[in-house]
């Protein structure tokens, strides 16, 4: 168990260092957010089995209901149809989604409320 804890600690430190080194001088929030999302994807790829894939996009259900845009969608890449896949933007059926993640460089009341609404839009499917 100690190896696992050490590994998670090392990954967290790596994330922190890369966030600071790569995006500390950037002022545009969209670019900074995209870079941080990419860094997180790289780190998570080291611990998530290759069967799973990450993408940004929306989640849909059989009734054509759609979620709000999701920063990260973790889905089963081996068995999931993707209705649209462009580089990292995807439309994925809700049955294939294991998790969604919101990535925020700063957290305030407005961004927290937005994140909660994004989560609700997926859970409602």
Looking at residue 95, its pLDDT comes to: 92
The tens place of each residue's pLDDT in the chain, 125 residues long, gives 577 667 777 877 887 787 777 767 777 767 777 777 788 888 888 888 888 988 889 999 999 899 999 988 999 988 877 666 666 688 999 999 999 988 777 778 998 898 899 889 999 99
Show the tokens assigned to 78. Answer: 């081996």
HSE of 84, CA atoms in CB hemisphere, 13 A: 8
pTM, to two decimals: 0.74
Q: Report which of 50, 25, 37, 40 is spatially closest to residue 89, judged by C-alpha positions.
A: 37
Looking at residue 59, its pLDDT comes to: 93
Is 20 strand, coil or helix? helix
Looking at residue 86, its pLDDT comes to: 65
Distance CA 38, CA 41 (A): 5
C-alpha angle 36/41/46, rounded to 5°?
Answer: 130
Strand partners, 57: 70, 90
Is 40 strand, coil or helix? helix
Looking at residue 85, its pLDDT comes to: 67
Q: Report which of 82, 107, 105, 123 is spatially closest to residue 33, judged by C-alpha positions.
A: 105
Tokens 């989604």 map to which residue? 97
């Amino acid at each position: 168990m100690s190896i696992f804890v050490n590994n998670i600690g090392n990954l967290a430190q790596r994330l922190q260092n890369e966030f600071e080194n790569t995006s500390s001088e950037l002022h545009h929030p969209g670019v900074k957010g995209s870079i941080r999302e990419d860094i997180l994807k790289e780190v998570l790829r080291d611990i998530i089995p290759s069967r799973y894939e990450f993408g940004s996009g929306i989640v849909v259900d059989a009734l054509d209901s759609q979620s709000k845009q999701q920063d990260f969608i973790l889905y089963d890449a081996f068995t999931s149809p993707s209705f649209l896949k462009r580089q990292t933007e995807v439309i994925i059926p809700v049955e294939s989604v294991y998790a969604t993640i919101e990535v925020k460089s700063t957290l305030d009341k407005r961004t927290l409320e937005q994140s909660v609404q994004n989560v609700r839009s997926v859970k409602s499917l």
